[in-house]
Structure 1
Amino acid sequence: MAPHPHEPPRGLSPGPWRTLLQWLRRLGGALLALLILFEEWGWEPLQRALARLGRLPLLRQLEAAITRLPPAAALAVFALPALLLLPVKLLALGLIAHGKRLLGVAVIVAAKLVGTAVVARLFTLTRPALMQLAWFAALYTHWSVWKEALLARVRASWAWRTGRAIKRLARMQWGRWRAGGNTSA
């Protein structure tokens, strides 16, 4: 009979097993929090940048067509960037494997930025259709509640509050410097 998934394997006492699982959960949670914070900070500004591009006549027509898609087609369009970026990410890994680490990392970062911008814009355009899919609406609601709880914990942390205070001070200093005429020529 196989052990329960939360029980330690035979021969391993519960203490170290539990500690390892807690450590892995914390590490996974921290990595996920960093990813969510990146998405949170980048999502809106990148989406707005693409929305400005969407004012171009051809893109305006394409966006209008996307907003009229039925739910299943909207889901396919929303998933498309992930599929299109997969070869780019594989290329980046190949570059890293062949010793071009900096270029590979730069490709991954660029793909993440472009991918986030495109997914953010597509989600804005397809959200009404996607929310008609009961399973998607349920998952999105669950995700939103979980993400907000995580962000609330992050925002309550000492590191976040300190970073916000430093940011406010830097903005005040910048404003004072600009108001002073910044004539250093």
Structure 2
Amino acid sequence: MRTWLAPLRWLFRITLALLILFEEWGWEPLRRVFALLARLPVIRQIEALLKRLPPRWALVALLLPSLLILPVKLLALWLVAEGRVTLGVAVIVAAKLIGTALLAWLFQLIQPALMQLAWFARQHGRWTAWKADLLAWVRASAAWRWARAVRLRVKRLFRRGREVPPPSV
């Protein structure tokens, strides 16, 4: 019975790893892009308000974007069901990018308040440790090492292609 669980566990782990890697790669750059919007006076006022939230309201603020994105995901699902697959996938990708940017920006602002909730701080620590272990597993894999090597080769090729040859005399 356990023989069929191993491939499922591996598939589940790979799927989670891919999602986490997307978040990791996107989190910081998307947070910086969203921070550019924070230069607007109204966004600065919202930031100040968010930083002052008590822990329980900070948790509500963290969950709110997930609820707000649900209708967008339903719209994307409807588009796919109507045969507009490309548009549906585009809506999902755009929602994921915008949602990740919003969540990264929001979490940065309210993390100190959230860490005052003992259960949240404990779960955050567990999540961080689990995520680090999963990413270490991925980075130790042959597929990851191969992909990194290919990426470095492609990067070198692009650098060589951009080098300007010395002028001939």
Q: TM-score, normalised by structure 1?
A: 0.85
| Greater share of residues in helix | 2
Aligned to 1:168: 152
Aligned to 1:29: 13
Aligned to 1:150: 134
Q: Does residue 1:107 correspond to 2:91, yes or no?
A: yes
From 64, 70, 78, the counterpart of 1:86:
70
Aligned to 1:8: none
- The structure having more radius of gyration, on CA atoms, is 1
Equivalent residues in 2 for 1:1-185, closer than 5 Å: 17-180=1-164
Aligned-pair RMSD on alpha carbons?
1.3
Deviation at 1:100, TM superposition (A): 1.3
Give the Cα separation in 2 of the matches to 1:27 and 1:60. 43
Q: Deviations over 1:117-154 (max 9, x none)?
A: 11111111110000110000000000000000010111
Letter of the structure 2 residue corresponding to residue 75 of structure 1: L
Greater RCO structure (CA 8 Å; 6+ sep): 2
Q: TM-score, normalised by structure 2?
A: 0.92
Deviation at 1:28, TM superposition (A): 1.1
Q: Which runs of 5+ in 2 are unaligned?
A: none
Deviation at 1:50, TM superposition (A): 0.5
Deviation at 1:108, TM superposition (A): 0.9
Deviation at 1:76, TM superposition (A): 0.7
Give the Cα separation in 2 of the matches to 1:109 and 1:78. 20
